[in-house]
Amino acid sequence: MGKLFNISEAANIAIHSLALISTSKEDLNATQIAEMLKLSRNHLSKIMHILARHKFVTSSRGPKGGFKMLRESGSISLLEIFELMDGNLEQDHCRRIDGICPFSDCVFGDVRQRLFDEFKTYYQNRKLSDLSLNY
């Protein structure tokens, strides 16, 4: 395990895209979102398809088409988006085999557990509506 917590590119794109769409007064199409986030339109389109399939957004075609939110941004936690893209966040910081550890105290102390709990709580409590744009 190289990183304690890893947010994939897919989860990163999903969170940023939903934040843009939820704060926009107009529908945004994939080209606009990709340009704003400096991303590949093809990669973004794959992520948006997943978000549409899971009823976060809907899309419409045409010159005034684009994506719009299907759910209120205040009801969507960043953890929900993260887990949609990366799977359930799991505790995996003990390398015990068959639940047996030769040490009386964890060699990591409780630091890894505290960090995991803090990470999960933060993303569970932070809503999409909490994010604001820089412009």
pLDDT in tens, 33-76: 999 999 999 999 999 999 999 999 999 988 888 999 999 999 99
* pTM of the predicted protein model: 0.84
Angle at 41 between CA 39 and CA 44, to 5 degrees: 75
Domain boundaries, the chain: 9-130
pLDDT in tens, 92-126: 656 666 767 788 877 777 787 788 889 899 999 99
Spatial contact of 16 and 37, defined as CB atoms under 8 Å apart: yes
Q: What is the DSSP letter of 47?
A: H
Spatial contact of 78 and 68, defined as CB atoms under 8 Å apart: no
2-6, 21-25, 75-79, 100-104: the lowest-pLDDT one: 2-6
Indicate the SS3 state at residue 63. Answer: coil
Q: Is the pLDDT of residue 1 over 50?
A: no
pLDDT of res. 92:
60
What is the Cα gyration radius of the chain? 18
Look up the CATH number of domain 9-130: 1.10.10.10
Backbone angles phi, psi at 57, to 5 degrees: -135, 165
